[in-house]
């Protein structure tokens, strides 16, 4: 008799007596399967009968040369205790996906067993209902096809406006009316993205615009940073703030000079600061993308939405038409005119792709930026309301790009974002700090 927990199948079955079980085990082998090892393959003979004891088995079927998964049998989803018996060659392939245990019995031995034991197996028999599996497979491939068509349709909707917008005189006229971003903003933003640049060179650029230099000194001396001494030297201020803080400051200053000081704009800007901080932390924590570049993208990503608000105010009669403008594209077109780095503009233009398509449809060079910006939104939603985050059908594909298997907004917030945010908490604007501490209080995620 084998060394087994005799009550396992019996507790799930209706009435195999201990004697029958002992008989069964004495006639069978216990097979240990490692992951990716098939128990049996489709279209091979079926000389044995199997009873799944524990682990995880994948049932798949080859349809027109393509292998498709039919189901997975697991211990905890009712799969345990399923039996495989066939009177003809197998019509599916069964493979272990985790270390698994299967009871194996020669068919000839099985046929001679007491009828009660045979019945025990037949009651647990995996349904090789070919019609059902074929129908299931057909509908699955139909859904896959529909998904593909849906994705390409959505892609075409999102790629056509750019050409239309560039040709449109009305839109060109509207964009022309928006004040240009101060030159210092695009110059400094571009230099800060150069990883080789020295803090002295950056300080020199800041000094070229006296009001920016004043803004930097005012910020660095504010109680908000708490450096505790009076700093009057720009070089020193640049070192203390660090390039990333300076980025935020320079771009914020530039946009504030360009955009109106309206409540709409302030709300969008607050949102952008939160996304920028979260995206920076996510990029740094997961080592995906360049944190400084992603932080800038976060700060600028909703500029197109601000532009739409502005346009509506200036042109109330065509407000309904302005609603149809794609904010991501119009924002990117505007930023190109402002000479912001190309990768920043292009990533912002594709920011909505993760909502309707998989990462494969995003160019390799921009995929990290677009994924981190999207996931920063997912995590921001999670921080605001843990129940309301992550409803995109492609979210898991994007989370996988971070190199983590466990894919939930909670998991990536805890693993990548919070450790970075925790270190910099004191330098955050009050509204963002409030969001983080509220979350920390409620979910103790920092600990």
Residues in contact with Fe ion by the rule CB under 5 A: 302
By beta-carbon proximity to Fe ion, the closer residue of 55 and 331 is 331
Q: ∠ CA(390), CA(393), CA(397), 5° rounding?
A: 85
Dihedral of alpha carbons 195, 199, 204, 209, sign:
positive
Backbone angles phi, psi at 26, to 5 degrees: -70, -20
Residues comprising the chain, all counted: 447
Spatial CA neighbour of 335 closest among 170, 189, 161, 158: 189
* Separation of alpha carbons 423 and 350, rounded Å: 31
- Least separation in angstroms between CB 328 and Fe ion: 10
Nearer to Fe ion among residue 273 and residue 322 (C-beta)? 273
CA distance 189 to 206: 11
> Smallest gap, in angstroms, from Cβ of residue 436 to Fe ion?
18
Rank residues 102 and 300 by Cβ distance to Fe ion and give the closer one: 300
Residue nearer to Fe ion on the CB measure, 105 or 373: 373
Taking a C-beta distance cutoff of 8 angstroms, is the pair 191, 270 a contact?
no
Tell me how far CA of residue 369 lies from CA of 100, 113, 215, 291, 294, in angstroms.
40, 63, 29, 9, 6
As measured in angstroms, the least distance from the Cβ of 4 to Fe ion is: 57
Minimal distance, residue 352 CB to Fe ion, in Å: 10
How far apart (Å, rounded) are the C-alpha atoms in residues 390 and 266?
Answer: 26
Q: Which is nearer to Fe ion, 196 or 391 (CB)?
A: 391
Nearer to Fe ion, 302 or 326 (CB): 302
Residue 24 or 370 with smaller CB distance to Fe ion: 370
* Torsion-angle region of 14 (φ positive above 0: left; ψ -120 to 50: alpha; else: beta): beta
Q: Compute the least distance from the CB of residue 303 to Fe ion, in Å.
A: 10
| Shortest distance (Å) from residue 48 CB to Fe ion | 58
Distance in Å, CB of 354 to Fe ion, minimum: 12
Kindly report the CA angle at 371 between 311 and 385, in degrees rounded to 5?
75
CB of 330 to Fe ion, least distance (A): 14
Sheet of strand 83-84, all strands in order from the earlier edge strand to the far edge? 29-33, 100-106, 48-54, 83-84
Beta-bridged to residue 32, according to DSSP, are 101
By C-beta, is 302 or 368 nearer to Fe ion? 302
- Position closest to Fe ion via CB: 302
């Amino acid at each position: 008799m084998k060394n087994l927990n005799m009550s396992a199948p019996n507790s799930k079955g209706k009435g195999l007596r201990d004697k029958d079980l002992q008989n069964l085990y004495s006639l069978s082998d216990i097979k240990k399967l490692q992951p990716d090892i098939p128990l049996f393959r489709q279209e091979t003979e079926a000389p044995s009968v199997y009873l799944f004891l524990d682990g995880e088995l994948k049932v798949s079927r080859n349809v027109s040369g393509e292998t498709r998964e039919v189901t997975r049998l697991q211990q905890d989803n009712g799969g345990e205790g399923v039996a495989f018996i066939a009177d003809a060659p197998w019509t599916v392939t069964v493979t272990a996906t985790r270390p698994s245990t299967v009871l194996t019995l020669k068919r000839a031995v099985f046929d001679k067993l007491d009828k009660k034991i045979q019945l025990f197996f037949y009651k647990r028999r995996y349904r090789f209902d070919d019609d059902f599996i074929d129908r299931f497979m057909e509908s699955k491939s139909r859904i896959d096809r529909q998904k593909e068509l849906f994705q390409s349709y959505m892609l075409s909707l999102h790629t056509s406006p750019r050409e239309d917008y560039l040709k449109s005189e009305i839109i060109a006229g509207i964009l022309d009316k928006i004040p240009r971003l101060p030159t210092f903003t695009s110059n400094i933003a571009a230099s800060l993205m150069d990883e080789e640049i020295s803090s002295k060179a950056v300080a020199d650029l800041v000094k070229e615009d006296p009001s920016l230099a004043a803004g930097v000194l005012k910020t660095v001396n504010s109680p908000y940073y708490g450096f505790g001494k009076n700093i009057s030297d720009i070089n020193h201020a640049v070192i203390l703030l660090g390039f990333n803080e300076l980025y935020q400051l320079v771009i914020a200053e530039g946009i504030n000079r360009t955009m109106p000081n309206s409540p709409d704009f302030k709300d969008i800007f607050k949102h952008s600061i939160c996304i920028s901080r979260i995206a920076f932390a996510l990029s740094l924590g997961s080592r995906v993308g360049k944190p400084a570049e992603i932080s800038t993208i976060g700060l600028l990503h909703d500029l197109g939405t601000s532009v739409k608000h502005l346009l509506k105010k200036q042109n109330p009669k065509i407000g309904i038409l302005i609603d149809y403008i794609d904010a991501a594209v119009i924002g990117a077109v505007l930023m190109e005119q402002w000479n912001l780095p190309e990768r920043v503009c292009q990533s912002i233009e594709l920011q909505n792709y993760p909502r309707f398509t998989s990462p494969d449809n995003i160019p390799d060079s921009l995929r990290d930026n677009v994924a981190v910006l999207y996931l920063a939104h997912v995590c921001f939603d999670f921080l605001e309301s843990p129940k309301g985050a992550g409803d995109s059908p492609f979210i898991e594909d994007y989370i996988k790009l971070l190199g983590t298997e466990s894919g939930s907004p909670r998991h990536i917030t805890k693993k990548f974002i919070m450790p970075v945010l925790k270190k910099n908490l004191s330098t955050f604007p009050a509204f963002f700090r409030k969001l983080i501490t509220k979350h920390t209080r409620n979910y103790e995620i920092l600990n």
